[in-house]
Structure 1
């Protein structure tokens, strides 16, 4: 599959955009008119630069408001088109995108539209270029891709074809199956974009909220599958209008964009295999991606992770973490024999305290602040899973190992979390723990309520520029399924929360996008500058599931644990909502436990105080409860906010 991207997707100058696209590995680009108009590069400079970078110039766009106009406007439009065709010859671009009219259209007559498009195609032929006609979802008279295609077929000129844009088609819920019946020679170009499902006018939706494939909710694999079945062999190009992407680092966004096309190509191949065409019949085993002119590549196939193997917290000053883990009931298993790390365990839950800090973080004054730095996942084949991640543009993270030490395959997630792939064992043990002492690969007997302890979920803060990138990354590289996102109230605004999980819930990863907080004239939160290896200052946490939360809480209280103090108003509201047994309610109040219930079960949990940017949560799931105590999240945010201001009254 030939890959492309419109320059409008990226931040920066035209030169910077082209360089980033080449670095990311794109085959070609679409030149967005404004990028060229505002560039000091001449068309000839752009042409040479593209050749030097190994990029093809696949499309010049957009040419607007051409059709459905009176004769006097048509003459002006044709003069304008002639100028663009001459420009395209200088660029070396052979296709121009023409959008259906939204502004000057005043005559609703398909016969007239066909005549005007025929005149445009004839002029394009004189310049040896082509015109790809696209139905905008908000076009005044032409807003349906099948309508646009019928006009192209009516004109029947070799220099006129259609452009299929997934956003304009899927935002209107048009059926994509008819694409398969299109003459592939008349499909001149294909553009793809994803988007969240929103209730708003389609123009605003399009201009601000498009995202790369895999970061939204459109059925793009199905769309592209129909395009492939039609016999299309041209570029599959991204056209994404997004305010965040156009403010983010250009090279990083380009890599994210390329990752999305790699993912889409694989998903489309899978869709073709799962939905054989009628000519092969239901249940056909013929590989769908081999039956069509466009070849769709796939990645090394991996199963979803079986669970968390460990969580790592990095800190130069570890005293607070050690105290907190000990009060929760974790056992210290000492230091690694060659690395400056500690291992703490409770049942099958393993926490590594990494005492190393980079010189950059020390220079930034953040070396002593604990932060989640790495996560280990149990996978069936670490080498294959790592190869998949690398093909998805994930940067490798080397881990030094001595003789007889476990070799972890690692790569970096977009939020800088280091992801390590571990060879999982059916009993949940880990061979690498022997590097801290013989016999540690088996979980300790533990105390009452702690034997079955596991990491239930991990909550990571995401920089605002890279939230969608993180969703795609964890979906494509780790096979986690994104759930519909929610918004949680906090004293600083709404916090966007997106759960990523495996089907069996062995891995639950929660991504949070917190609002910007202004304190003392300086910005903090997820868009504040972060030290190397750390995400910005918004708090994040690791949650552990235990068999008996009340017993765990009582034991932790006896060890002097500093619980997050829950206000009395919460328990009055809890009683009003659930009518709890008075003794049970008194226990919740005494131990600062929070509670939730739904039709499937119950959920008990408590939080610790925060050390650095990290705190811990202990949970107990009763029955088939599958949530995270979402109604309690605003309480937690409010209490943490209050504690932060008490500790830092000047901020």
Structure 2
């Protein structure tokens, strides 16, 4: 499968975009006209630079408002088109994207369009060029892919074909199944874009909110299946208009884009085994059996280890070759704490270990999806946990199962046996597992993070939710497997409060227990500072659920929050934040499914006050 990306997807200069696309591993690029117009480099220099980088120049775009016009206007349009063919010859490229007319169309007649497009094709042939005709979803007379294809079929010229764009097709709700019956020789180019479901006009939706495949709500797997069935074997390109992408790091965005194409190709390969496109072969996703460990780094060691002790964790030991790492254990939960010294630096989640059946295959899949291996020296008698970097710079470890299937094959490196610590006193094992990891990301990288974990680990994305905070709406979305759950939050950024909150938005680890009251009571007795929940919350809780006063008094005593679904209950409390991290302890009763997000506005408001107080000295 030949991959390509439109330069409009990326930030920076045209030269920087070409470099990023090549470094990420794309085969080619589409040249967006404005990127060339503002470049100080000549077309010949751009052509030569692309060749040096090993990139093909696949498509020049866009050429607007060619058809559906009176003859005098069309003659001027042909003049414009000829100048572009001459430019393309200097660039060393041969295909141009022609969009259906939006602004100047006055003649609604397919016979006129066919005649005009045929004459444009004849002009293209004289220059050795090809025209890809695309229906814009908001085109005045031509706005569906089938209409554009019908026109191309009637033109019946070897230098005229159609361009299929997933956004223009799926944003209208059109059925892409007709693509499977198209003549592949008439499909000249394929552009892919995903998008979140939004209630707004198609044009602003397209210009500002497209995302890479797998990061939105379109069914691109089905769309790509129809393309593969048609027999198309040309470039598979990304065309993403997104304000945040054009502000983000160009190299990181390019890698995210290629990962999305590899993920989509992997999903399509199994649906169309005899496709003309050679899809990349990935190792099967390894369904995680659970979290093996969570790694924290802190410049506030005493604060973190004190909270762990208060929650019932015991110090297992120090790493045999890296004594700055210590392991804290309770039940099947293992927290690795890296002491960076008394710097006062914020506590952060820096690594996650997941238990998989085949750690080597899991790491191979991650690397195929453009994850970078972590350079690490593994000492004698130390486990190779195959770490890779996540997009945010944290590390993801793949841990093979131990004899009991629970991982922890690396534990001897810390000089202890978990059973020696947790089985001697049953009270210490009140916490028994990691329920989920809550990741926090800037708004422009949240979708990238979700795609990374879902593609590498074979997880599924749930529907997004928007929850209120004092700084604005927080976008939250879960990515889940049978045994492993993540949530990804994107804090608001568009105001002074939002910028502050996005910069300081905390991540957290949620621990699972069968008795939240026992954990809370023990923690309070040991001096744990919990996140204070306001009295108003409990008054509202009693009114919403009709809870007994005695029960309300009991959960209020320990700052425990409560949620209920049709099938169960969720009781949970939060520690006060230490830096940008905190712990949550949760008890699920019955078949409750979820993460207690009904209580998120309460938590966010309380943490916002605490963070403002800690960082800026502003009264709560």
TM-score, structure 1 normalization: 0.92
Which of 346, 370, 379 aligns to 1:402? It is: 379
Q: Distance in 1 between matches of 2:419 and 2:183?
A: 62
**What are the Cα deviations for residues 432-485 of structure 1, in whole angstroms up to 9, with x where unaligned?**
222223432676124348356101111111123311211111111121211111
| 1:221 Cα deviation from its structure 2 partner | 2.0
Q: Which portions of structure 1, spanning 4 or more consecutive aligned residues, are displaced by more than 6 angstroms?
A: 517-520
Whether 2:445 is the aligned partner of 1:466: answer yes
Which of 474, 479, 486 aligns to 2:465? It is: 486
Q: Distance in 1 between matches of 2:616 and 2:23?
A: 46
Whether the 8 Å CA contact 2:431–2:511 is kept in 1: the answer is: no
Which of 539, 545, 549 aligns to 2:512? It is: 545
Q: How does 1:220-231 map to 2 (within 5 A)?
A: 220-231=220-231
Pick closer, same or farther for the CA change 1:373–1:292 going to 2, 3 Å: closer
RMSD: 1.8
Which of 406, 409, 416 aligns to 1:428? It is: 406
| 1:317 Cα deviation from its structure 2 partner | 3.1
2:334 is aligned to 350
Whether the 8 Å CA contact 1:414–1:473 is kept in 2: the answer is: yes
| 1:515 Cα deviation from its structure 2 partner | 1.8
Q: Which range is displaced more, 442-451 or 630-639?
A: 442-451
Which of 598, 601, 614 aligns to 2:581? It is: 614
| 1:351 Cα deviation from its structure 2 partner | 0.7
Which of 387, 401, 406 aligns to 2:364? It is: 387
**What are the Cα deviations for residues 586-614 of structure 1, in whole angstroms up to 9, with x where unaligned?**
10111111101010100000011111211
Q: Distance in 1 between matches of 2:275 and 2:571?
A: 54
Q: How does 1:630-649 map to 2 (within 5 A)?
A: 630-649=597-616
Which of 557, 579, 583 aligns to 2:524? It is: 557
1:182 is aligned to 182
Q: Distance in 1 between matches of 2:128 and 2:205?
A: 35
1:534 is aligned to none
Q: How does 1:290-439 map to 2 (within 5 A)?
A: 291-339=274-322, 340-356=324-340, 368-425=345-402, 426-428=404-406, 430-439=408-417
Whether 2:489 is the aligned partner of 1:496: answer no
Q: Secondary structure at the match of 1:524?
A: helix
Which of 432, 435, 451 aligns to 1:456? It is: 435
Q: How does 1:33-182 map to 2 (within 5 A)?
A: 33-182=33-182
| 1:428 Cα deviation from its structure 2 partner | 2.4
Q: Distance in 2 between matches of 1:167 and 1:519?
A: 34
Q: How does 1:264-279 map to 2 (within 5 A)?
A: 264-272=264-272
Q: Secondary structure at the match of 2:281?
A: coil
| 1:229 Cα deviation from its structure 2 partner | 1.8
Q: Secondary structure at the match of 2:69?
A: coil
**What are the Cα deviations for residues 415-438 of structure 1, in whole angstroms up to 9, with x where unaligned?**
122111111244525222222234
| 1:141 Cα deviation from its structure 2 partner | 0.7
Q: Distance in 2 between matches of 1:415 and 1:439?
A: 32
| 1:312 Cα deviation from its structure 2 partner | 1.0
| 1:404 Cα deviation from its structure 2 partner | 1.4
Which of 560, 570, 576 aligns to 1:593? It is: 560
Whether the 8 Å CA contact 1:430–1:441 is kept in 2: the answer is: no
Q: Distance in 1 between matches of 2:592 and 2:93?
A: 57
Q: Distance in 1 between matches of 2:496 and 2:182?
A: 58
Q: Secondary structure at the match of 2:429?
A: coil
Q: Distance in 2 between matches of 1:132 and 1:639?
A: 55
Q: Distance in 2 between matches of 1:396 and 1:136?
A: 41
Q: Distance in 2 between matches of 1:518 and 1:68?
A: 45
Pick closer, same or farther for the CA change 1:429–1:414 going to 2, 3 Å: closer
| 1:193 Cα deviation from its structure 2 partner | 0.8
Whether the 8 Å CA contact 2:131–2:160 is kept in 1: the answer is: yes
| 1:643 Cα deviation from its structure 2 partner | 2.1
Q: Distance in 2 between matches of 1:354 and 1:202?
A: 49
| 1:517 Cα deviation from its structure 2 partner | 8.1
Q: Secondary structure at the match of 1:245?
A: coil
Q: Distance in 2 between matches of 1:214 and 1:164?
A: 18
Whether the 8 Å CA contact 1:161–1:186 is kept in 2: the answer is: yes
Q: Distance in 1 between matches of 2:92 and 2:501?
A: 46
Q: Distance in 2 between matches of 1:427 and 1:250?
A: 41
In structure 2, stretches of 5+ residues that fail to align are none
**What are the Cα deviations for residues 97-126 of structure 1, in whole angstroms up to 9, with x where unaligned?**
000001111111111111111111111111
Pick closer, same or farther for the CA change 1:241–1:442 going to 2, 3 Å: farther
Pick closer, same or farther for the CA change 1:519–1:213 going to 2, 3 Å: closer
**What are the Cα deviations for residues 505-535 of structure 1, in whole angstroms up to 9, with x where unaligned?**
x111111111238769x95343x4xxxxxxx
Q: Distance in 1 between matches of 2:230 and 2:555?
A: 62
Whether the 8 Å CA contact 1:399–1:408 is kept in 2: the answer is: no
Q: Distance in 2 between matches of 1:80 and 1:494?
A: 46
Whether the 8 Å CA contact 1:67–1:113 is kept in 2: the answer is: yes
Whether the 8 Å CA contact 2:317–2:416 is kept in 1: the answer is: no
Q: Distance in 1 between matches of 2:98 and 2:495?
A: 45
Whether the 8 Å CA contact 2:291–2:353 is kept in 1: the answer is: yes
| 1:648 Cα deviation from its structure 2 partner | 4.4
Q: Which range is displaced more, 470-479 or 396-405?
A: 396-405
Whether the 8 Å CA contact 2:29–2:56 is kept in 1: the answer is: yes
Whether the 8 Å CA contact 1:517–1:525 is kept in 2: the answer is: no
Whether the 8 Å CA contact 2:574–2:585 is kept in 1: the answer is: yes
Task: Figure out how many residues of one structure are paired with residues of the other and give that number.
Answer: 615
Q: Distance in 2 between matches of 1:595 and 1:171?
A: 39
Which of 422, 431, 445 aligns to 1:444? It is: 422
Q: Distance in 2 between matches of 1:374 and 1:334?
A: 18
**What are the Cα deviations for residues 249-288 of structure 1, in whole angstroms up to 9, with x where unaligned?**
111111111111111111111222xxxxxxxxxxxxxxx1
TM-score, structure 2 normalization: 0.96
